[in-house]
Amino acid sequence: MDTALLIWNRVISWTCIFTDIISDRDSKFTTAVWTNLHQLFGTKESFSTAYCPQSDGLAERIIQTLEHMVRGVCTYGLEFKDCNGFTHDWCTLLPALEL
């Protein structure tokens, strides 16, 4: 239950509360932590076919888009200057990708 609360405090509360999770029966999503999360929030868990990305097309497309965005941010190097001359570390841009 502690891990479930940690996930709530650090991830879900910053993004959103999900109503349904679709997983491919990976052991990472069938652990007691996820069982506790489903009990805490009353969410529903659905399973797709394992190793079949076509059944989870939207998630695969989102992952592809995020990879593209992260690559774009990382191409600046460790530090870069914006158009106003301010120096930034590329890590400071990562929270903007969550929007």
Residue 30 sits in the same domain as residue 57: no
Token readout for 70 is 């992260």
| Strand boundaries in the chain, DSSP class E | 20-23, 44-47, 79-81, 87-89
Q: Are residues 93 and 78 part of one domain?
A: yes
In this structure, how many other beta carbons lie within 10 angstroms of the beta carbon of residue 4? 19
Q: Are residues 87 and 66 in the same domain?
A: yes
Same domain, 38 and 13: yes
Average of per-residue pLDDT values in the chain: 73
At residue 99, the pLDDT reads 63
Supply the pLDDT for residue 1: 60
For the chain, what is the domain count? 2
C-alpha span between 22 and 73 (Å, rounded): 29
**Domain co-membership, 25 together with 46:** yes
Question: 36, 51, 66: which is the final residue of a domain?
Answer: 51
Res. 16 pLDDT band, cuts 50 70 90: low
Same domain, 71 and 89: yes
Q: Domain limits at 97? A: 53-99
| pLDDT of 59 | 74
pTM of the predicted model, to two decimals?
0.43
Residues 6 or more apart whose CB falls under 8 angstroms from that of 81 comprise 87, 88
